[in-house]
């Protein structure tokens, strides 16, 4: 019986270690801090095992800076990262692998202090 209990605990511990939430800095942006801000629109969708969160920002460079800062803190965990500056704005994207699934993160900034931020992936990636 002890042997069976030890085997069960080892299996449970291994599963718990591999299946942990990503704890990304960008996830903290959805903590309600922008709830009453008129320059921000927040979208959250769960559908068919997919999870999507987005923030649209109009004329508020301070919020864009906060989002960019959160993204920069998550860059070391990224399996893929790109940052592109063009004549119409700046685009940052990264991919983070968690629980065998990819989490896609992106920020598009325009020259007028606005932009669009999103985080998307399979629900399994966020557990």
As a whole number of angstroms, the distance between CA 108 and CA 117 comes to 6
CB 98 within 8 A of CB 125: yes
pTM for this predicted structure: 0.80
- Is a pLDDT exceeding 60 seen at residue 10? no
Residues 34-48 have a mean pLDDT of 93
Ramachandran sector of residue 113 (left: φ over 0; alpha: ψ -120 to 50; beta: rest): left
What CATH code would you report for 22-126? 3.30.160
Residues 15-37 have a mean pLDDT of 77
What is the strand order of the sheet 89-98 is part of?
Answer: 40-47, 50-57, 115-122, 101-109, 89-98, 80-86
- Is a pLDDT exceeding 90 seen at residue 25? yes
Write down the domain spans for the chain: 22-126
């Amino acid at each position: 019986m002890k042997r069976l209990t030890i085997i069960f605990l080892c299996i449970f511990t291994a599963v718990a270690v591999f299946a942990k939430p990503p704890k990304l800095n960008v996830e903290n942006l959805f903590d309600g801090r922008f709830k009453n801000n008129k320059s921000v629109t927040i979208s959250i969708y769960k559908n068919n095992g997919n999870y999507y969160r987005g923030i649209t920002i109009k004329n508020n460079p301070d919020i864009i800076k906060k989002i960019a800062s959160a993204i920069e803190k998550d860059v070391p965990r990224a399996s893929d990262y790109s940052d592109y500056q063009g004549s119409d704005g700046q685009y940052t994207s990264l991919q983070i692998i968690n629980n065998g699934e990819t989490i896609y993160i992106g920020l598009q900034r325009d020259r007028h202090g606005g932009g669009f931020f999103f985080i998307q992936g399979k629900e399994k990636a966020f557990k």
